[in-house]
Structure 1
């Protein structure tokens, strides 16, 4: 009987063990599975799609993967099904990558700097999608400059910008979070003279850098209102107590600000004058909950945003690394009536796996279809739901078995359209004589790749083959069709077969790149240079052997002449300056 049950159990789990997705989520491919490339020097996450619906097949996913198992930190754009589109590592750890509008133009924005795992000190980058004003040239790629940083925004009043928020308003201002260590009375915790991380936010004019508004949590909240245990913090400046933990800011058309406080379990609405209008959740909750507690029992929350009809989106974590106050994390859509002081959950968004994310996270209402996109923060996943709460797509960029570890995470996750036109040319590499690989980091308009060849006898490049661009990197198999060509390059073309850019030229014999650009006339010059080198080498070798033969043939004559020279010149000259020659002795 036991044997039969064991056999049935094995049969039941066998389909799971033979599923690639199951192997992935068990960590068989590693804690951070990655895609390796031949032509590109960085690694991107290898994702696993737990659930997919074709309605998710639009726009790009914006992440900032990090964690102890992530090698290449930085902002990253992935395709709808998780394939790499663009990544950059020169900024180091980046946070909060999203597409925002400023003065009617789209920008990639993100924070980069130094972080201690909880707070950050850095600046905010804005990379333009608009091509610069350059002289018109034949190569389209030279006209475009996506990913060029055109604005760097810093905090004002001598402070440094925090990693949690950089939100551009329709008025051309930026809302940013700041953490400042200040002295404070912590008598409520038995510490009379202590130190806290004060939670601030500023509104800054992007064009001028002027601080238009600043708000400070310690002026409106008492430290004893926090839910965060003080532990050993607060006693010295180097270990300040984070009692408020500001992590998002939003603004409505009336000028009111909405602040998320993780450690107060609350959302605070602040007037344009800086006064507190109302508080949702936490110890100061002012709202009657029409959803039987589901709207006001938020805890350890992140990313509050305001939307039309006085609705809020909130990422409700329900846990920290040490404390769990909910069974799972939720993305919430809440209706607020600030007059009657009532709150109601319109919808909550939860995956069947009921992810519990101990930190970070984001909620986004997609403008085109009203779907809800959720980045699960500490949990290496992102999901898309219908407005009614139905899960459409769920993607993992780390195995679910290790979600609780936080070894792979992305502070937030967003989805947005983007047109990428990098200034740099496509990358190419020929690892062996049978294949050549090509990729173009950040290019979004490439429809196909065209392999081209040329030779000294036929310097005009000719098309050899064409393949569609289905993934980040493409591979051409090289056969007899390239035998007539000494030099290869690959052209990136769009849907209209217009050339967007060329790779460097590769010498098919040596498999080395010749130059960034190839001019056919250079082939003749190289040939002449090679002939000149051969001629010079022949002359050198002939002269060398002739010299050796000449010395050997006339060695006695040369020795006698050298001896006579020594006697007639060197000896006499040396004697005149005190040199005593060796005396001669006659024998016989």
Structure 2
């Protein structure tokens, strides 16, 4: 795969009640200096974040969220039990937000991981944190090569490693796609980091592998306005060890060989490796795609993948002046036939009130076959059974949302 001709140089930029929709711009923090997270707050410090709960959680574990509001009160990383009661809460530092909070395994032990920083959703800058099961800080992780650390994904790998994301600006010649010769662009970067040493073990830059012409994000009016053409928001490890990299602004999920960075296949977008079809009872969007402006691709083996399908973004991913290719967001389940090069939409778990989430969101397949969904910019979290029926639904206060939501087993200290 070859890119269009371009000239690139580092830029000087360094950086079921109806639910009210919340644009991404409403939850972005100002770019200010921030301190390292404090130790855990006691259970009684924060308010329980879920104000309305319907049904019962069927999956196993506690709920992990990062409540975020424009007001900044209550921003942080929070564990709540199935009844919506707070187990543990970390208050984000003033002027910052937290993202991608969950439990993972490091060196065989359960840990808590999250990102905290500024500018989330754009040219963000922060730190990835690892806490013990006694809520003690044990490691900080940053992107290497002088890059800032983005908050969309912090994934622990094998042998004391972690995958992190970064957004970096450059100058590109876009005359081949009708743009200026000196457009400031925002490239998406995936790195694998040795947690102990900080050494970069793998680095993948979208501009080296994907043509700018694959972007669905319109060019800005000025060449000096950074064009977020790729917007990487997820990196996961597929069942065969290869990487799944999601790019919101190309409407594409990429399978990448971690040995050399080569793209194995592309799902969706302008250059899909697969024909896109819908099974009986399912529907493609108005553009003939399975998803658009999406987040969070996950592989489940046997050719099955899930994606959070936003179907809406708005100018520069702000949620403002948003258009859509479908009238609601959903989590889609896709069956890939790599031999026949066909991708089939086999199930859709639709937003219960028929609304669009213009930013954020994730879908987690549980061991019992249910799907646990954080509805991103909408102030809600849901669980669906394997047949697509909703079994549990909860809401944050108006104006508060969570980037992702997870249901995960947690045996950490419940007294701190």
Q: Identify the TM-score tier after normalising by the shorter chain.
A: 0.7 to 0.9
Match of 2:392 in 1: 393
Q: 2: CA distance between counterparts of 1:171 and 1:291?
A: 40
Native 8 Å contact 1:195 1:241 kept in 2: yes
Q: 2: CA distance between counterparts of 1:46 and 1:177?
A: 29
Native 8 Å contact 1:162 1:178 kept in 2: yes
Native 8 Å contact 1:199 1:216 kept in 2: yes
**Residue aligned with 2:182, SS:** strand
Match of 1:475 in 2: none
Match of 2:87 in 1: 85
Structure 1 or 2: larger helix share? 1
Give the drift of 1:303: 0.8
Q: 2: CA distance between counterparts of 1:105 and 1:39?
A: 23
Map 1:147-546 to 2 at 5 A: 147-187=135-175, 188-233=177-222, 235-236=223-224, 239-272=225-258, 273-291=260-278, 294=284, 296-320=289-313, 321=319, 322-367=322-367, 369-399=368-398, 407-421=399-413, 442-443=414-415
Native 8 Å contact 1:119 1:163 kept in 2: no
Q: 1: CA distance between counterparts of 2:122 and 2:360?
A: 10
Native 8 Å contact 1:310 1:335 kept in 2: yes
Match of 2:131 in 1: 127
Q: 2: CA distance between counterparts of 1:387 and 1:210?
A: 42
Q: 1: CA distance between counterparts of 2:159 and 2:337?
A: 26
Q: 2: CA distance between counterparts of 1:211 and 1:291?
A: 41
Q: 2: CA distance between counterparts of 1:380 and 1:80?
A: 17
- Deviation track 1:213-254 (CA, whole Å, cap 9, x = no partner) reads 111111122222211112235x22xx3111011000112253
Give the drift of 1:164: 0.6
- Deviation track 1:234-279 (CA, whole Å, cap 9, x = no partner) reads x22xx31110110001122533211111110111111231111111
RCO higher in 1 or 2 (8 Å CA, sep ≥ 6)? 2
Q: 2: CA distance between counterparts of 1:66 and 1:54?
A: 23
The structure with the larger Rg is 1
Give the drift of 1:106: 0.8
Normalised by the length of structure 2, the TM-score is: 0.82
**Residue aligned with 1:263, SS:** helix
- Deviation track 1:17-65 (CA, whole Å, cap 9, x = no partner) reads xxxx96x9699xxx9xxxxxx994443425102x303635x42111111
Which sits farther off after the overlay, 75-84 or 224-233?
224-233
Give the drift of 1:330: 0.8
**Residue aligned with 1:325, SS:** coil
Give the drift of 1:205: 2.1
Picking from 122, 126, 129, the partner of 1:118 is 122
**Unmatched tracts of structure 1, length 5 or more:** 1-20, 32-37, 130-145, 400-406, 422-441, 445-588
Native 8 Å contact 2:244 2:256 kept in 1: yes
Q: 1: CA distance between counterparts of 2:298 and 2:20?
A: 35
Q: 2: CA distance between counterparts of 1:335 and 1:119?
A: 34
- Deviation track 1:322-353 (CA, whole Å, cap 9, x = no partner) reads 22221101111212222321112232212431
Q: 2: CA distance between counterparts of 1:342 and 1:90?
A: 44
**Residue aligned with 1:352, SS:** coil
Give the drift of 1:99: 0.8
Q: Decide whether aligned partners of structure 1 residues 40 and 73 sit closer, same or farther in structure 2, where only a CA change above 3 A counts.
A: same
Match of 1:101 in 2: 105
Native 8 Å contact 1:25 1:398 kept in 2: no
**Residue aligned with 2:139, SS:** strand
Match of 1:584 in 2: none
Give the drift of 1:391: 0.9
Q: 2: CA distance between counterparts of 1:256 and 1:216?
A: 16
**Residue aligned with 1:191, SS:** coil
Match of 1:527 in 2: none
What is the number of equivalent residue pairs in this alignment? 366
**Residue aligned with 1:379, SS:** coil
Native 8 Å contact 2:239 2:300 kept in 1: no
Match of 1:529 in 2: none
**Unmatched tracts of structure 2, length 5 or more:** 1-15, 27-41, 314-318
CA RMSD of aligned residues (A): 2.6
